A and B are shown apart, each in its own frame.
Chain A
């Protein structure tokens, strides 16, 4: 089982499981294609017939309304038939489940699976066991990867900053548990961002994180100095107090994005967040709703990016 699983022998994308190992040309192709789809959402009929007759199954082994909804909208705008399966809810018993579920759905002639699972590697495992004409999109696996989120973040950065080659980007918060951060780091470095920083207390950073090619900061004001892009990560409820952090209040004081801390970044720096936000914990409302925030455009672009990924995969 390896990452080459994602590409066919012509180097075309068969599955989107992780950003790691994908060439910049494929990332750029996805972003360019997404650019064409942004127009579709502004038309009278927000739908194109590209995936007419295709069946896309949203397999969500972990609850997520937002991500599932954006995939669903994207699929529907491409005229695909979408089935949502919330397997977490339908009491999947451990063990038997995963591959059996997938095999059953394959037998129903699925063309594409969009998979969200709490375990790292789940999408890889599914992709390595489906029939060759079925495509798998990883919509988040454990702490490992969330490639479409990272791509929509890259799309957003490109919209506002045009070029990746002269940027300083800071990712702030719970890097340890974040699949989003891992995918962002791979995407940013593949697209040529020269300086990627991670900012977090030591309890929220994985061991050897610098091997991913990032600079580590524990002091947020230093970490944000002169950056062009600030990406805030969501702090999961269960991490807010206990062995990772003592309290929300202390976290906000030292790692929450306030106007004062943002002032250390470049004046035209943009602020991003994958959502949903914890206002007053990782980000101050003044910043979240302020002029530098591009958090809502991120959501809009997310649909175009997912349309692009789906239409590229289904055609390969």
Chain B
């Protein structure tokens, strides 16, 4: 718990800096529930994007469903723009095994065939299990596997990072 974590707000600013040069009129943005949506909302606002923000709950696409069942609070996914031929920036808080991104990409394709998907994440903590890479990264961190990196949103909307011991969290 004592490990020093970067300030989420700082990382967010980093990410926005990286994305600003490539922002264009028809850029679409999609956040992944729950942390990814918080990050995406902030970026979407900062870049003043025209197309409405999309949200994905990848529960229906998870590859561990047969082991752990359906997530109890599935939220509806909504991509309120034409996915066909769109250029999408997919946003998540933490990139880890890559499985969530795999599920999200699959789900996007069930809405249509986008022209491109790029990935933006606040933190890349390595340990990939699938051939997936983020194009826009706030920070790269190396963390013990028994730690879960969690993004939190304060009541004023500010974001912060925290570490959870997986074993403790499971209890």
- Touch test A–B (CB under 8 Å): yes
Q: Is A249 an interface residue (CB 8 A)?
A: no
B100-119: CB near A (< 8 Å → 1, else 0) gives: 00000011011110000000
A48 close to B110 (CB less than 8 A): yes
B112 close to A36 (CB less than 8 A): no
Instruction: Give, as a whole number of angstroms, the nearest-CB distance from B164 to chain A.
Output: 22
**B16-59 CB contacts (< 8 Å) to partner A:** 57, 59
Contact stretch, chosen from B76-84, B128-136, B140-148: B76-84
Contact stretch, chosen from B7-15, B66-74, B86-94, B153-161: B66-74
B61 close to A33 (CB less than 8 A): no
Contact residues of B: prevailing secondary structure: loop
B111 close to A44 (CB less than 8 A): yes
B70 close to A38 (CB less than 8 A): no
**A48-80 CB contacts (< 8 Å) to partner B:** 48-50
Contact for B110 among A36, A38, A43, A314, CB less than 8 A: A43
A315 close to B69 (CB less than 8 A): yes
**Footprint of A on B, CB under 8 Å?**
57, 59-61, 65-66, 68-70, 72-78, 83-84, 106-107, 109-112
Report Cα–Cα, A38/B61, bound state, in Å: 16
Interface size class of A (residues with CB under 8 A): 20 to 34
A48 close to B69 (CB less than 8 A): no
Instruction: Give, as a whole number of angstroms, the nearest-CB distance from A196 to chain B.
Output: 28
Contact for B111 among A45, A49, A314, CB less than 8 A: A45
Q: A49-B106, A50-B60 are in contact. Are A32 and B74 (CB under 8 A)?
A: yes
Instruction: Give, as a whole number of angstroms, the nearest-CB distance from B158 to chain A.
Output: 29
Residue ID in chain A nearest B68 by CB atoms: A315
Residue ID in chain B nearest A50 by CB atoms: B60
Q: Is A47 an interface residue (CB 8 A)?
A: yes
B68 close to A44 (CB less than 8 A): no
Report Cα–Cα, A29/B66, bound state, in Å: 19
A29 close to B72 (CB less than 8 A): yes
Residue ID in chain A nearest B78 by CB atoms: A39
What is the total of A-B residue contacts with beta carbons within 8 Å? 52
B106 close to A36 (CB less than 8 A): no
Report Cα–Cα, A29/B78, bound state, in Å: 20
B69 close to A44 (CB less than 8 A): no
B60 close to A48 (CB less than 8 A): yes
Residue ID in chain A nearest B112 by CB atoms: A44
Report Cα–Cα, A117/B100, bound state, in Å: 41
Q: Is A190 an interface residue (CB 8 A)?
A: no
Given contact pairs A43-B111, A315-B66, enumerate 16 new A-B contacts (beta carbons under 8 Å): A33-B74, A36-B59, A44-B83, A44-B111, A44-B112, A45-B109, A45-B111, A47-B110, A48-B61, A49-B60, A50-B60, A50-B61, A50-B65, A312-B69, A315-B68, A316-B69
Instruction: Give, as a whole number of angstroms, the nearest-CB distance from B84 to chain A.
Output: 8
Report Cα–Cα, A311/B107, bound state, in Å: 17
Q: Is A35 an interface residue (CB 8 A)?
A: yes
B76 close to A35 (CB less than 8 A): yes
Instruction: Give, as a whole number of angstroms, the nearest-CB distance from A231 to chain B.
Output: 27
Residues on B with C-beta less than 8 A from A316 are: 69
A315 close to B112 (CB less than 8 A): no
Contact for A49 among B61, B69, B72, B112, CB less than 8 A: B61
Report Cα–Cα, A100/B120, bound state, in Å: 56
Residue ID in chain B nearest A111 by CB atoms: B66
Q: A39-B77, A44-B83 are in contact. Are A33 and B112 (CB under 8 A)?
A: no
Report Cα–Cα, A267/B70, bound state, in Å: 40
Residues on A with C-beta less than 8 A from B107 are: 48
A36 close to B61 (CB less than 8 A): no
Instruction: Give, as a whole number of angstroms, the nearest-CB distance from B67 to chain A.
Output: 9
Residues on A with C-beta less than 8 A from B75 are: 36
Residue ID in chain A nearest B82 by CB atoms: A44
A312 close to B70 (CB less than 8 A): yes
Residues on A with C-beta less than 8 A from B77 are: 36, 39
Instruction: Give, as a whole number of angstroms, the nearest-CB distance from A40 to chain B.
Output: 8
Residue ID in chain A nearest B70 by CB atoms: A315
Report Cα–Cα, A35/B74, bound state, in Å: 9
